[in-house]
């Protein structure tokens, strides 16, 4: 842990809420909204989310699986995300979601017209904006938790 947590305090609540009360609850609301209000399919959502988690190294995010209507991605999905370029387990939208997440995290300046043409062929503009916001939140908050040493004890914070 890189932040001193008073004895008896929940680390996530302390850091996300008490230490920065003007920012933490708003960040928490964004984090929760990404899950509660997404219109993206579960597989493309999870492919992007897991690719960001893999690149961030956030222990909680790597272990988490989003559930919708009692459904989760299959066992081995995270391994397929690692192999997004070659896996036979993904359709075009899911593969693009993983690719976009990786490029967003590692090389956002390299998102060229060829990439955007492929994205526009498979995703509506509103979906591209939504996926971008999701990836941005996972990058920021997963990395924050990893850097501050909170990822081993993380739960999605409540506002």
Longest dimension (CA), the chain: 53
Superfamily of domain 11-148: AhpD-like (1.20.1290.10)
Give how far the C-alpha of residue 46 lies from the chain's centroid of Cα atoms, to the nearest Å.
8
pLDDT band, very low/low/confident/very high, at 158 (cuts 50, 70, 90): very low
Cα distance between residue 112 and residue 63, in whole Å: 32
First to last CA, the chain: 23
The pLDDT, as a whole number, for residue 154 is 62
12: left (phi over 0), alpha (psi -120 to 50) or beta: alpha
Length of the chain counted residue by residue: 159
* Contact in structure between 63 and 113 (CB atoms under 8 Å): no
Distances (CA, A) of 65 to 40, 43, 46, 113, 117: 15, 11, 8, 32, 30
Condensed to tens digits (0 to 9), the pLDDT of residues 115-152 reads 999 999 999 999 999 999 999 999 999 999 899 988 88
pLDDT tops 90 at residue 61? no
């Amino acid at each position: 842990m890189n932040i001193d947590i008073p004895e008896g305090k929940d680390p996530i609540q302390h850091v996300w809420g008490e230490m920065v009360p003007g920012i933490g609850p708003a960040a928490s609301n964004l984090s929760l909204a990404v899950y509660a209000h997404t219109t993206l399919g579960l597989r493309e959502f999870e492919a992007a989310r897991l690719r960001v988690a893999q690149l961030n190294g956030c222990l909680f995010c790597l272990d988490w699986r989003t559930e919708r209507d009692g459904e989760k991605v299959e066992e081995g999905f995270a391994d397929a995300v690692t192999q997004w370029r070659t896996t036979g387990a993904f359709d075009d939208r899911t593969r693009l979601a993983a690719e976009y997440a990786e490029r967003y995290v590692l090389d956002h300046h390299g998102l060229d017209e060829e990439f955007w043409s492929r994205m526009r062929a498979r995703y509506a503009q509103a979906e591209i904006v939504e996926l971008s916001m999701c990836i941005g939140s996972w990058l920021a908050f997963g990395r924050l938790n990893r850097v501050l040493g909170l990822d081993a004890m993380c739960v999605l914070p409540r506002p």
